[in-house]
A and B are shown apart, each in its own frame.
Chain A
Amino acid sequence: MITRRKTVMGVAVSAGIVMGRAQVVLPGYTKVAEVPITTSRIKSEQRALDRAVEETVQEIEELRDSAAQRLGAQVASVFEAQLLIASDKSFLDEVKNRIGIFRRNAGFVYNSLVQETTHKLKHSVDPYMQAMGEEIEGVSNRVLSHLSGYRERSTVRFKGDRIMVGKSFTPGEVLSYRNRKAVGFLAGEGGANSHMALIARSLMTPMLIVDDIWSQVQNNCRIIVDGTDGRAIINPSDEEWSEYQRKKKRQGPALLTRIKKLTKIPPTTSDGRVINVSANLELPGPVDDILAAQKFPVGLYRTEFLYLNSDGFPDEDQQFEYYDRIASKYEDSYVVLRTFDLGSDKVRFDGDIGPRETNPALGWRGIRLMLEMTDIFKTQLRAILRASTRGNVRILLPMITELEELQKARRIVSQVKFSLRRAGIRFDEDIPVGIMVEVPSAALTAHRLALDADFVSIGTNDLTQYTMSADRGNSRVMSLYNSFHPSVLSLIQMTIVACQQAGTPLSICGEMAGDPLALPLFIGMGVSDLSMNPAKIFDSCRLISKIDFNLVKHLVGPVLSSHSSAGVMRKLQNYRNALEKK
């Protein structure tokens, strides 16, 4: 337990700075006291169960409605099965029956029956069955918390700013804590692609993943979560507290307000070079509407959400509806839809797929997976093509490692186009098909890939991971993961030059695209297209307007000849300091 000041580093899966007191949520609710009751109390225990169930149903309905309102029907459908579970009549009848037979308290009987039901599921080797067991437990924990005389209705707003600290959170929990005005999240496990991270980002709520954090933090202690630097300070000193208060103030008005003001800052350098700034998105949400209204393009729309949120791959019509809604929303700009970027650790297949991969990052993922599961790939391509009639949709292929993959994928696109044509279905014949450059082999052969790709997008996060051979989620090697290492920058520079020579449009879409240190360097390298987290757009546009292209192009040589990440960052920081003095 940390009772003194301590700084911990973690992975920021949703950006922003928040400060508040810890609200620790302990995982599981497995132990329920067994209390013998007298015959006269049977009825009242049964009534207590009914009441708890009623409250739970109401709670889930509220969550569902708020999800539908804020995030759309797709997300809200998660709660339908939960409602059926909570109100399962024959299950509840059996609980009431047993309360009478065994003469035990409602909570104990209810919990025993839940354990009986989920035992087999939890021990199944099938991840879908395990997930179902967890789903039932999630609901039963709600019922139990209402039963245990836990009087605080869990829709009550927190007093003061609360930072939720837990092992991990379900999407429903993130949503409900956010509704209760929690300001941020610290989770002990999970990744940038987990459901909770997805929801946190779309709600623009900072979230940091720190190994085992939930067992270390004391309830009610002060915490600063810096979801920009990936840092949390537990029990900060008063000086730090006020320093961060100033820092927060300097961040300026709330993100949504800032995004609304965007059009007032056209992203043009001080010497008149126009930079195309676009957004990285993955879920419909409030930001999405504002960006669309401001005619901002979406340089990267991730589609994994569709898979993670439905049970298996969604069918063509479901996907079409989703893509078509996005395309119509961004009618005045464009949307780059990236095809499913899933790994075998996330996807479940039929039958024997051999041993579990010991190294999923280097395994069967991204385009590698899609090129073999062609029925799934074709379904997605058909849906995207059908949504392309407005001429504003582009296709982006993830994890291209060698030319053959791109050529194979393009052949499949042609086949899908052919079958659509034959069926008389309209689509954009000229839909651009681009590639992500995010592995060193692609960067090193970008001159060739750029000839066959309609556009290129550099994914700096994976490119850093694969170049430095370091996982940023692993605290032991996290310090090696640095996008400013000269090797990573050389690969980026190589890709930029290759695309310029081939005449292929290029953009940068990783986290680095919105980094104030990296931005002047990219512009100096000749990049004129950046796609970033919406939270970074406002500051980036402001920064771009101060940059002098003819000056920053002289930064490139010295930066690339640095010997270390630290050397690079020092030079870029010097430039930034000079810029701020101006």
Chain B
Amino acid sequence: MITRTAKIVNRFGLHARPSAMLVSTATKFSSEVFFTKDDLRVNGKSIMGVMMLAAEKGTELLVEVNGPDEEEAVVAIVRVIETGFGEKS
């Protein structure tokens, strides 16, 4: 299992479109993905879970990836978060 922290940098935080992007990225891999904000831990392949985080700009997310392609998965997921989902920071 690999864990990393990633910071939400885009201006509007994890709203609908970025949540959808994050879930689509996580779903590409066969590894399990979890995100934790404060004491809330959600399945990274569930948009409802990701939306429930209500993660605003500046939030530090804990990313946990566990499975055969965890190395690639964690890189891809952290990249999509830290590049601000292609939005303005």
Contact = CB atoms under 8 A, between A and B. Distances in A.
Contacts of B17: 81, 310-311
Given A81-B19, A81-B47, A88-B47, A117 B11 contact: no
B52 A311 contact: no
Contact of B12 (A84, A117, A311): A311
A80 interface: yes
B36 interface: no
A310 B87 CA distance: 10
Counting chain A CB atoms within 10 Å of each CB, the highest count among B10, B20, B46, B49 belongs to B46
B20 A81 contact: yes
A124 interface: yes
Contacts of A80: 20
B51 interface: yes
Interface of B: 10-13, 15-20, 23-24, 43, 45-49, 51-52, 54, 56-57, 86-88
Q: Interface residue tally of chain A, by bracket?
A: 20 to 34
B20 A129 contact: no
Given A311-B16, A311-B87, A312-B88, A350 B11 contact: yes
Interface of A: 80-81, 84-85, 88-91, 117, 120-121, 124, 126, 128-129, 131-132, 135-136, 310-313, 315, 348, 350
A315 B88 contact: yes
B51 A132 contact: yes
Nearest to A91: B48
A90 B23 contact: no
B79 to A, nearest CB: 18
A298 to B, nearest CB: 28
A151 B87 CA distance: 42
Given A84-B20, A90-B43, A315-B86, A120 B48 contact: no
A43 B18 CA distance: 35
Counting chain A CB atoms within 10 Å of each CB, the highest count among B10, B12, B15, B24 belongs to B15
Contacts of A131: 15-16
A121 B51 contact: yes
A90 B20 contact: no
* 6 interchain residue pairs of minimum CB distance: A90-B46, A128-B15, A91-B48, A84-B47, A81-B16, A81-B20
